[in-house]
A and B are shown apart, each in its own frame.
Chain A
């Protein structure tokens, strides 16, 4: 259908539209017009992605200055789905375009998705490598500028990648025909034309209208520097499924060092040293050249840019980069190596400590300075005096990563994956010396409380999620943060330190209740159930959890998904259930699949799970909240008729990193510990449970099995579209009561929905126009009122409009429903 929002013609690839989709698009447009940021929560399964793409593409195609769309998602399956949606949308737009010219305009609209080499490589040998790092390294060895030059000058002297070479022969900007290509499409295109899919996408980036990749490509400075540098300021940035965005931010600036890593780094340093000695005798000019170059200030070879990604870029944010030449004392390769050696030795000594140490970067640097200063003086008579020493250590550290890049390039090293640990160490050095606030160093000598064999880990942990995302907010004019479960909305602007122009959550309009959330607080034997640490292994609790699964496997058709709060708990409870004979009961009704540590193995289990659901055999999938499966896999329709959340998915509160983060949040942003923990647990619970729905004719049960879910403060943190359907009776049930309600629900939902959804939860074009007319009338009325009453506040109009009206509508519905109960 085609309709207008204000003057903007929107092409929406369906005949009808959900009211929440319309409202969502209106708010999105407001954000784009205002060139600001927004936080939008739209119920899961109501077609968020298609609304988003539909509006933004309409916007891009309507305005002459095509603003590029950078669409970030969490997982590769989600990236692929978004690409497929986009492809469908464009096909529809081409069909709808009235003139040939218009059709041409739609056809030239290009969108691509980017992921790693590992996922995009089609080189027969390299693509067989299991580890992403190895694929990267081998690819670089065949595609970097130096090798290519050598290979082209003297064919056969070095191995080059044909797929990459073929790309070079093509016109930049037309490596692939215009249009939308999904990841599968681009792989196929690469195979058909013997071109490299990965570099096709990389080189097409400046020319595309839409690019879809994961959060990391924009947030992780190591990657963003390479991939997202050329994105223009007016680009529209969308973070979809952004409920965990703060974690991605934190991760992209945090680093862990272990003893094996340090050992490996030492070995790498040794190898580098040998290589330097070797080159000194064979090709001394090379090192001389590098030295000269460093004196002039680092000058990158732009040709080589695209192959360096990840490995050889700076781990700090762009604004924190020092725009200075590398200091003199580490310009000479052997001096730099000596520094590295010393630094690694220092870290090794630190790791011998057998008690936990938590310190700020500043105190770490101070200590480092104290220790290394003593050792260094005889070596460096030029720098006598403490001040000079500290400056030395400081500058060494800050330039460490950069200097290493230069050295590696000079030495023309191959198989960089072998030096990954050294790169980590140098990244660590640079990070620790760059950031003071919002970071903490934690040394944990033992893995667990009662471990006796030390296995020390040096955590350098970022506590402030706003740091990593700050450049994004500063650089791009419109950033959209959206998800199905992003409640409470005000938490995100607080944590990420930005001010949104629009902040909205949409209720779900339903003509009949498509899902039934139930809170089970106790088993049929009235024993309270909870995943609280003290009681979670109590046999009564384990049995009651088990009987919930058994009973639901008896009454629910097709697929059931069960989530546990952690891997540890899932693994122990699965074993316990098996020994108690509980799983034998489940086997009678359904097949059982369990998430395993291996991603590939789990994918196959998932695929089999889906087969069992399609076939009608039915299956149970046991997995973990915040685990691999909970992110980005949909359990809609028969793939999930019930989701059971066993326990509240709290984070492990004994974790020192978490404790540090909580402390920081409290001090810096006044977010209380319990508030954050509750918020974090509930957003993950909501995320798990929200994946059962897709569309309004789909239905599913959502079972929260823990007595703590009954508390009002917990439930208040659920997204409103879920919370609104939890009734008072449904919030405190025993297993048998919940089963009765579930059976009743399934019996009603399986009836043909004879009431007409159109006009209520489904809008046709006329309904949109009606709504718009009404909106205009209201706006007029308000205008009149305002003119009459000059005391009125200015900004009130901005927040009014459709969503409030819908809200009012909705409350009526809710009330009506309740009275029926």
Chain B
């Protein structure tokens, strides 16, 4: 039973009941019933709306992801208690919603929030500084570290570390991939191979899933700019949602400070926002140059005016910039390179003449920086004061592509392969020698083409024969095609299962036989591997029986056994090969 965070009496669809928030769900149970009739995953909560403070009923509306209508709850306790209760729910849900917004598509991933955010934050933090070093043979080099590559390095290897997490990931994969799921059911649940064996060699799927899940949706880019709507009577209205409050506090710490200073001692929450939106402070925060025009309309406000800062519209920014920037983008260094000479710039080229636009421009830069820092952590990832790598001056396409360290294809009898190539090449070379004679020959060949064409006569009989054979061919193909699907569905599935299972055994066998490319599986000792190979051979040996069983069954059902044999032939060949290999190996080891 999940722990309950808060509960309250509330009605839903006019039926009395209890609203309860646990750490995973928000649920509502009608009075007298034991099973909750509304049960919402916390991860599904998208936004929250509350009735006005002065309203007769204390209401709360929760909209869900992909469902804007959501659920309406009315708190039924006496007014004061209800308000209090709702406040509790509000704060809890606001944080949950805030978390959901930061999370990826929350509908797809349902997991305990705490574990989730943890892995996400670490992987993101790790991902940012890793830069992909691309080999110079790559046609178009981009400095942007591609997502997949950085994930591979940065995602912590979850396998084995956290069984619960691992299990969940595997389950998601199996659900997402029905074929794999079927195989899993067949083999693992059927008890033929163990769970660990099944996943061995499939670690990349788990990693990919973990990586996909740890991708967090970034903060949306827009500026926080609540625009008032005008309602009749010249009144303006601004809709305050918990989300907006959260954003405002985030964007303007000074408002958060004012809030903590004044609410609830000096002002009620409602009053606070009302006065804020009428204050000069709000106008200063509005991302509009026109706000300066409304300045005189705005009344002085003794509380908020205290927090008012001077407009940041000087040529030099108010914010102290102590950061040393990389020399390659250091514009100040150029300005200080020599004494200023010459006549002043004309009016249009003097930066910052539009005083009103400056705070706005600064706000853009700071907002962008904040968004970037939210995703990447503070400051440039690796503050390179000195430019060590000269990637910025290098022209990569001027390097020999041969010089890049590619992956050498390992193959048997390499020498012979190249010898063969060489022979072919020298053959070509010999042929190439005499262009003149070839052209000459070709010329003589076509010199009398008109006459030759006139002489060309086709015998009727061979022509007919050819046409007939072609028709037969087409007919045969049509026949085959119409017959292919004549196997009953269930029977066909049986064949497929048999085939995929055998394939899986083969995969296991070979991966146990040959040294693995994955570093991950090095933990397995040779002895274990040998044992596993033997086990797999045991399974594989049974494949023939299984196929025969299928064939027999087919015969009983009056199907064409031949066809099934043909279909299963490749897998049987592969199995035989594995068996032969295993025997030889045993023999060689024995001798």
Contacts and interface: CB of A to CB of B under 8 A. Distances in A.
A16 B399 contact: yes
Contacts of A633: 329, 331
Nearest to A223: B338
A803 to B, nearest CB: 20
B6 interface: no
Interface in A579-604: 579, 583-584, 587-604
A18 B398 CA distance: 8
Contacts of A634: 392
Nearest to B365: A605
Given A184-B387, A651-B346, A594 B317 contact: no
A632 B222 CA distance: 31
Q: Max chain B CB contacts within 10 Å: which of A448, A597, A652, A750? A: A597
Interface residues of A, number: 118
A567 B348 contact: yes
Interface string B305-330: 00000000001110001010111111
Nearest to A573: B357
Given A76-B334, A76-B337, A47 B398 contact: yes
B218 interface: yes
A568 B141 CA distance: 37
A571 B361 contact: yes
A188 interface: yes
Interface in B135-153: 139-145, 147
B403 interface: yes
Contacts of B399: 14-16
B289 interface: yes
A252 B342 contact: yes
Interface string A28-42: 000000000000000
Contact of B365 (A593, A631, A753): A593
Contact of A606 (B329, B336, B348): B329
Contact of A81 (B144, B325, B328, B353): B328
A569 interface: yes
A699 B141 CA distance: 10
Contact of A592 (B343, B368, B393): B368
A669 to B, nearest CB: 20
A568 B396 contact: no
A699 B352 contact: no
Given A633-B329, A753-B139, A571 B354 contact: yes
Given A80-B327, A568-B347, A584-B222, A575 B376 contact: no
A464 B557 CA distance: 103
Contacts of A605: 365, 368-369
Interface in B337-377: 337-339, 341-344, 346-354, 356-358, 360-362, 364-365, 368-369, 371-372, 375-376
Given A81-B328, A611-B380, A615-B128, A632 B372 contact: no
Contacts of B356: 575
Contacts of A753: 139-140
Given A251-B342, A575-B354, A569 B348 contact: yes
Contacts of B140: 697-699, 750, 753
Interface stretch (A214-222, A273-281, A354-362): A214-222
A116 interface: yes
Given A251-B343, A604-B323, A575 B329 contact: no
Contacts of A598: 315-317, 321
Contacts of A574: 357, 360-361, 364
B330 A76 contact: yes
Q: Max chain B CB contacts within 10 Å: which of A115, A600, A632, A698? A: A600
B331 A606 contact: yes
Nearest to A311: B339
Interface in B376-397: 376, 380-381, 385-387, 390, 392-393, 395-397
Q: Max chain B CB contacts within 10 Å: which of A216, A247, A310, A608? A: A608
A731 interface: no
B395 A695 contact: yes
Contact of B315 (A579, A597, A613, A615): A597
Nearest to B317: A601
A50 interface: yes
Interface string B417-460: 00000000000000000000000000000000000000000000
Q: Max chain B CB contacts within 10 Å: which of A571, A587, A652? A: A571
Given A16-B399, A591-B221, A652 B348 contact: yes
Nearest to A639: B143
B287 interface: yes
Contact of A116 (B337, B390, B398): B337
A757 B139 CA distance: 11
Contact of B354 (A572, A590, A631, A651): A572
B407 interface: no
A516 B572 CA distance: 57
A579 B333 contact: no
A217 to B, nearest CB: 7
B341 A220 contact: yes
A75 to B, nearest CB: 4
Contact of A119 (B331, B333, B346, B362): B333
Contacts of A490: none
B243 to A, nearest CB: 17
B229 interface: no
Contacts of A579: 288-290
Interface in A1-59: 14-18, 47, 50
Contacts of B139: 697, 752-753
A202 interface: no
A310 B338 CA distance: 9
A116 B372 contact: no
Given A84-B390, A88-B393, A594 B334 contact: no
A612 B331 contact: no
A596 B365 contact: yes
A14 B398 contact: yes
B348 A607 contact: no
Q: Max chain A CB contacts within 10 Å: which of B354, B362, B399? A: B354
B368 A599 contact: no
Interface of A: 14-18, 47, 50, 74-77, 80-81, 84-85, 88, 115-116, 118-119, 132-133, 183-184, 188, 214, 216-217, 220, 222-223, 247, 250-252, 254-256, 310, 447-448, 457, 459, 461, 558, 565-569, 571-572, 574-575, 578-579, 583-584, 587-608, 610-617, 619, 624, 626-629, 631-634, 637-639, 651-652, 654-655, 657-658, 694-699, 750, 752-753, 757, 762
Interface of B: 128, 131, 139-145, 147, 218, 220-223, 225, 287-290, 315-317, 321, 323, 325-339, 341-344, 346-354, 356-358, 360-362, 364-365, 368-369, 371-372, 375-376, 380-381, 385-387, 390, 392-393, 395-400, 403
14 contacts: A14-B399, A50-B395, A74-B334, A80-B387, A88-B393, A118-B336, A558-B142, A596-B317, A608-B369, A611-B381, A616-B147, A624-B351, A626-B349, A628-B334
Given A596-B362, A599-B332, 6 more contacts: A50-B395, A77-B331, A184-B385, A256-B344, A615-B145, A639-B143
The 7 closest A-B pairs by CB, nearest first: A251-B342, A597-B352, A14-B398, A571-B354, A597-B351, A15-B400, A575-B289
